[in-house]
Amino acid sequence: MDDFRILTAADSALVIELGAAIDRKISDRVLALAETLTRAGLPGATEIVATFRSLCVNYDSLTATGAELERAIAALVKGAGAASQIRRLWDIAVCYDPHYAPDIEEVANTVGLTAAEVAALHAGTQYHVYMIGFVPGYPYMGDLPAQLRLPRRLDPRTRVPPGSLAIATSMTAVYPYESPGGWHLIGTSPIRFFDPESTSGALLRPGDAVKFRPVTASEFSRIRLAVERNDYVPESTEFAA
């Protein structure tokens, strides 16, 4: 792998750039390299943050220099094989009923499908978690079926309720927190995607896979109650990447 650049974020981080696009191949390389660097235990590195196309390697400039880290990383990038990683495939309940999906009719009209067809297409695809950002636990997942790809809304909402399932461009996501948002809301999940009381914080990690399972409104309520009682964990199976 020679096609990478190491950029500088002052004496706080090195940015290892493996591409400039949202692309599954680039993402796989980013996540494999994150694994390699984590296993190597780079001295002075404090955190490695994976994005769509780069890794942000935070370091403490009192204990390491950028030049040393850069040399260590360059050697590892070149030598990095496909590090085998254990990932999880998650089964995530979603209610696509219009009451839980304020934009699904509008999306359906725009793309020339019925709301039921939008839901079926969305739930019929397995998604890759590219990265987590924006707010704690917010998963950028892709790729959406081509028929469902739309630009962001012209009028972003100032408040998107937590649990909202959203789509925009080639991505889908669930808002873990109430926040502003410009994506189209086509469902709601009763699952908690971020829990600061847990040891790991977020349910999903970059590299995981997600399938959405349509549930009825009553099933949604049942699961949400169980989630609130800390009595529900979505099913997941391990797979090797």
CB of 112 to other proteins, least distance (A): 28
Residues 123-162 that bind other proteins (CB under 8 A): 131-138, 140
Parallel, antiparallel or unpaired: strands 139-142 and 126-132: antiparallel
Applying CB under 8 A, does 164 fall inside the site for other proteins?
Answer: no
Residues 65-84 that bind other proteins (CB under 8 A): 65-67
CB of 9 to other proteins, least distance (A): 4
Applying CB under 8 A, does 55 fall inside the site for other proteins?
Answer: yes
Applying CB under 8 A, does 85 fall inside the site for other proteins?
Answer: no
Stretch that binds other proteins, among 96-104, 145-153, 203-211, 224-232 (CB under 8 A): 203-211
Cα dihedral: 152, 155, 161, 163 (round 10) = -10
CB of 197 to other proteins, least distance (A): 7
Tell me whether residue 108 or residue 143 sits nearer to other proteins (CB atom): 143
Stretch that binds other proteins, among 7-15, 114-122, 152-160, 229-237 (CB under 8 A): 7-15
Applying CB under 8 A, does 21 fall inside the site for other proteins?
Answer: yes
Applying CB under 8 A, does 217 fall inside the site for other proteins?
Answer: no
Cβ proximity of 54 and 226 under 8 Å: no
121-154 core/surface letters (b: 16 or more CB in 10 A; e: else): bbbebebbbbbbeebebbbbbbbbeeebebeebe
Cβ proximity of 183 and 210 under 8 Å: no
Under 8 Å CB-to-CB from 20, ≥6 apart: which residues? 53
Under 8 Å CB-to-CB from 154, ≥6 apart: which residues? none
Tell me whether residue 15 or residue 89 sits nearer to other proteins (CB atom): 15
Applying CB under 8 A, does 196 fall inside the site for other proteins?
Answer: yes
Place of tokens 């297409």: 121
By residue count, the chain amounts to 241
CB of 207 to other proteins, least distance (A): 10
Of residues 199, 211, 139, the one with CA closest to residue 175:
139
For residues 194 and 228, give the distance between their C-alpha atoms in angstroms, rounded to a whole number: 13
Applying CB under 8 A, does 15 fall inside the site for other proteins?
Answer: yes
Locate the DSSP E strands across the chain.
Answer: 5-9, 13-17, 45-50, 54-59, 86-94, 126-132, 139-142, 157-160, 164-168, 171-174, 179-181, 184-188, 209-214, 236-240
Applying CB under 8 A, does 240 fall inside the site for other proteins?
Answer: no
Q: Which of 10, 146, 154, 240 binds other proteins (CB under 8 A)?
A: 10
CB of 27 to other proteins, least distance (A): 11
Which residues lie near other proteins (CB under 8 A)? 7-13, 15, 17, 20-22, 34, 46-56, 58, 61-62, 65-67, 131-138, 140, 177, 194, 196-197, 200-202, 204-206
